[in-house]
Amino acid sequence: MTDPTEPERPMPPVGWLSTAALGCVIVGGILIASYAPRPAPLAVPTALTVVAYALMVAALVLLSRIAGFAWSTFVRLFRWALLAYVVMSGMIEFAFIHDHTRGTTLTEVTLMLVIFALSVPTTIAFTSARYADT
pLDDT per residue of the chain (134 residues) written in tens, 0 to 9: 556 666 677 899 999 999 999 999 999 999 998 987 778 899 999 999 999 999 999 999 999 999 989 999 999 999 999 999 999 999 999 998 998 888 999 999 999 999 999 999 999 999 999 998 87
Q: Count CB atoms within 10 A of the CB of residue 23.
A: 15
Q: Is the peptide bond before 37 cis (omega within 30 degrees of 0)?
A: yes
The candidate with the shortest Cα–Cα distance to 112, out of 33, 54, 53, 59, is 53
Distance CA 1, CA 50 (A): 41
Which residue type sits at 43?
A: A
What length does the chain have?
134
pTM: 0.89
Amino acid residing at 68: G
Q: Are 40 and 32 in contact (CB under 8 A)?
A: yes
Instruction: Spell out the domain ranges in the chain.
Output: 14-129
Instruction: Of 17, 57, 42, give the one whose Cα is nearest residue 110.
Output: 42
